Amino acid sequence: MTNIIVLGGSGFIGKSLIQRLERNNFKNVKVMVNSTKIKSNLEKFQGNILDKTILKNEIRNGDVIVNLIGQYNGDILNFVDLNIKGGLNLLEICKEKENIKII
């Protein structure tokens, strides 16, 4: 059975994706959110793509990682941290695993 990890489940696209996964009865899904107000029966965890320890612990059993984290709020340093450093953190963690897919 495929284990799916959705990073960025609090965003516009993330919310739509997790609703679709629920409607289609996907069971092995974990969603990283920055807000616990997300209405979903899927397993959720609070995390930050910049925190390698939490990220590594939460995605260790993932077969498919869907990275929907990204934003630009006018602060270029925040943009670089979240979008570039965060993406590199994810890739570094995932390169230790075999047969993992990143979307």
Q: What is the pLDDT along the chain (103 residues), one digit of tens a residue?
A: 789 999 988 888 999 999 999 999 998 999 998 766 778 888 988 888 889 998 899 888 899 999 998 887 888 888 888 889 999 999 999 988 888 999 9
Q: Which helix (H) or strand (E) holds 94?
A: helix 86-94
| Amino acid at the residue 54 | I
| Structural contact between residues 13 and 67, judged by C-beta atoms closer than 8 angstroms | no
Query: Strand, coil or helix: what is 92?
Result: helix
Q: What is the edge-to-edge ordering of all strands in the sheet holding 29-33?
A: 43-46, 29-33, 4-7, 64-67, 101-102
pLDDT at 20: 95
Write down the pLDDT at residue 3.
93
Tokens of 42: 């899927």
